[in-house]
Structure 1
Amino acid sequence: MRLKGVTITAYCGAFLCLGIAFSVLGPTLPHLAGQVAVSIGSISILFVGNSIGYLVGSYLAGPVFDHWKGHPVLAVSLGLLAGLLFLVPFAPSLGLLITVFIVLGIMKGAIDVGGNVLLLWFYPKGANTAMNALHAMFAVGAVITPIVVGFALSRTGKVDLAYGLLGAMILPFAFSFLFLPSPKAPPIPKADTEGSNARGDLVLICIIFFFYCGIEVGFGGWITTYALKSGLETASGSAYLASTYWAFFTIGRLGSILAARALSPILVVGAALALAGVSIALMVAFQDSRHILWGGSALLGLAVSPIFPQLLLVADARLHLRGSTTRWFFVGASIGAITIPWTLGQGFEFIGPRVLMPAMLAIVLANGVCYFLLLRRLKAPVLKAR
């Protein structure tokens, strides 16, 4: 039992580090643009590079975790992640900064795929609570990051201190995986994962991950710049706005642990998408209101928080996930993280910051359509709470 608790703690720690890596770019983006002397539109290429790296890392990591012991791979990935964060403030050019964020993205992809798959193997039955706890720690990391950035800016006016502190937080978790035995994959009922229906479900779930990741990364990455450029917040205030979004994201992840005991994962996903649509619609209707911006950001964080872990549970119930299968969900998510934030950045450059909220609303509506298509395809056992 003690080993089990230590292992779960290590997984949660890895996802706290993952939350740091995912959320660090948005609050520091304007300062990185100043560091390498480029415009906001140009610096948005970092989202693309980071997401390309994540795509490559996700795709390559799947078979690695199927055939190699998972914990040493996680240890190396986390160690490299920490080292790359230390390097960011010292990149003197946009090209070098892009390179750093591409490699950082590769490490993120490996940690994300590996952590989720290994947890499902560690809990072949009854993974619902553990999965939500894992992703709640991701949200904790995402909350910590803008706070650390805001603290560093208030003390030094630069992001160097923030990247140093965040990198140092990751190292203990990297070492912990060197001393823990890796779980093995449980057997797969072959008949459950064959045929055109399973392939169709796989494709549709990938599309939902595509839109979801665009919502989460696009809003979390651009809300700081949106608030600053719209004149609704100061530099430090906009960083704390992002922290509010991630704080309610964390609350939602924790709350979903309880909700999952009463509702099936697929129904939690539907309720979350509906609430996300309401929150963004309010911010579209009242774009000049600072109070609606703060309240809508908090509500959106709460809404989208349970979607990723609950959708993974739906996929596992239907497809009995392996690394080579799970990677496609993360590939879909990373393509969304490439195209959607980059497109938003171009909108900022050529239209203005007010493009953000209508674009986010359109993405949520598109994901809602995909959700109803998936709901019609799933069989009754998958719709029940696990």
Structure 2
Amino acid sequence: MSGHIGTLMNTAKKTTIGYYLSYIALGLSAAMMGPTLPGLADQTNTQISQIGVLFTARSIGFLFMTLWVGRLYDRVPGHRLLTLALFGLTLTMALMPTAPNLWVLTAVLFLMGMSHAGVDIGGNTLIVWLHGRAVGPYMNGMHFFFGVGSFLAPIIVAQVISVTEGMQWAFWILALLMLPAVFYVLNRPSPTMPEAAQEAASGAVNWSVIFLIAIFFFIYSGTEIAYGGWIYSYAIATEAGTVSTAAYLNSVFWGALTIGRLISIPIATRLRARVILFIDLAGCLASIALILLIPHSTITVWLGTIGLGLFMASIFPTTLTLAERNTTVSGSVTSYFFIGASLGAMSLPWLFGRQLDQNGPQAIMVLVFACLVLEFIVYSLLMHQIQREKIQAPSV
């Protein structure tokens, strides 16, 4: 019996490696946008204010896939879908520098968004099925490897551009780095859907908690993507960095996310999810407040960016862990969470870009602070709802 349990644990760990590789690929695709936006604008003969439509296209693709891919994960062996999504991510990355105009590039980003959703929803659903209530540190670990990819992408882009004086090879190198995940996941058995998740897929879910978490993800994902995408342009507009150093500021943000997620792995085994979320949100507010209070200081921009990355790091995986503890997670339920996230990632970066163009770079930080305040309010409502349902549970 003990030998069988040991074999299952060993299989689970090997499968988890595949999810970690998938999230490195996901991070590479997510973080390459910021430092490549000016180059993509030149490639397509487009104004920088118009190029922000790429965020929207990727998010619409993400949303479109999110509407139905969760149901597919409930019905089809998960690794088949995950492998297909990873291949799509690799292919669209390779196609980006070949797009001759904004319309073609927008279509490529739409397809990339679809692939992104397949990997994101698949990874978050399958790892919960694989580890159950012990998912906390594994979930944080998976999102840590997203940070690894996000940290490496701007550095790779900056280094390749400095050597080749062009972006083409940067995209192709990133695409090559995604291939190991494709082949690894393809050769691993898919985890089975737990019985409780099957019940959730058939309709037995806690809708109030799911709705509040979806709203929470709307604000969080939109703010994270907007900050990671526009901090490069903000730094240049405020003269907080040159073209090259601004790319490194972008990388520092994703690097701080990476370090924060690494730190959060042991923390997730010691603190309750609600406590971690409170600390994270308070730290995010303090980091942006620092930049707002001393707006023209290069040092505060760097310190605030590092702080924001560190405290944002564990919000997403910790909220998913909180969801696992307070409702049943199926592919369909995960889709609802990511519908909220994709709507935020679609609308908020576009809004930030418009405000940057119309009202100047400082509007970016004001919007980030406002979003974080709103997120704190939603967090409070979520905690109240969870506590209320726990009190009512014995009488049901």
TM over 0.5: yes
Number of the residue aligned with 1:18: 26
Number of the residue aligned with 1:246: 254
Alignment map for 1:338-357 (pairs within 5 Å): 338-357=346-365
Q: 1:189 to 1:214 in 2, by over 3 A?
A: closer
Equivalent pairs, count: 383
2-structure distance, mates of 1:259, 1:343: 34
Matched, 1:211 2:230: no
Compute the displacement of 1:382 (Å). Answer: 8.0
Number of the residue aligned with 1:175: 183
2-structure distance, mates of 1:290, 1:118: 42
Superposition CA RMSD, Å: 2.0
2-structure distance, mates of 1:375, 1:190: 26
One of 82, 86, 89 as aligned partner of 2:94: 86
- Asked whether the 8 Å contact 1:192–1:318 carries over to 2, the reply is no
- Asked whether the 8 Å contact 2:200–2:330 carries over to 1, the reply is no
Which ranges in structure 2 are unaligned for 5 or more consecutive residues? Answer: 1-6, 392-396
Q: 1:98 to 1:193 in 2, by over 3 A?
A: closer
Compute the displacement of 1:381 (Å). Answer: 10
One of 82, 95, 102 as aligned partner of 2:110: 102
2-structure distance, mates of 1:195, 1:92: 46
One of 274, 283, 289 as aligned partner of 2:291: 283
1-structure distance, mates of 2:132, 2:86: 25
**Equivalent residue of 2:196, what SS?**
coil
**Equivalent residue of 1:188, what SS?**
helix
- Asked whether the 8 Å contact 2:133–2:324 carries over to 1, the reply is no
1:244-270 CA-to-partner distances (Å, cap 9, x unmatched) read 111111111011111112211121111
Matched, 1:258 2:256: no
- Asked whether the 8 Å contact 1:318–1:382 carries over to 2, the reply is no
2-structure distance, mates of 1:372, 1:192: 25
- Asked whether the 8 Å contact 1:314–1:382 carries over to 2, the reply is no
1-structure distance, mates of 2:110, 2:135: 32
Matched AA of 2:335: R
One of 353, 360, 385 as aligned partner of 1:377: 385
One of 46, 49, 74 as aligned partner of 2:57: 49
Compute the displacement of 1:280 (Å). Answer: 0.4
Number of the residue aligned with 2:318: 310
Number of the residue aligned with 2:302: 294
One of 128, 136, 140 as aligned partner of 1:120: 128
1:94-144 CA-to-partner distances (Å, cap 9, x unmatched) read 000000000000000010000110000011231111111111000100001
TM-score (norm 2): 0.93
Runs of 4+ in 1 over 4 A off after TM superposition: 189-197, 380-383
1:286-344 CA-to-partner distances (Å, cap 9, x unmatched) read 11100111111000000100000010011111111001111011010010011100001
TM-score (norm 1): 0.95
1:328-365 CA-to-partner distances (Å, cap 9, x unmatched) read 11010010011100001111211122211011000000
Number of the residue aligned with 2:76: 68
Which ranges in structure 1 are unaligned for 5 or more consecutive residues? Answer: none
- Asked whether the 8 Å contact 2:147–2:258 carries over to 1, the reply is yes
Number of the residue aligned with 1:135: 143
Number of the residue aligned with 1:154: 162
Compute the displacement of 1:27 (Å). Answer: 1.4
Matched, 1:332 2:337: no
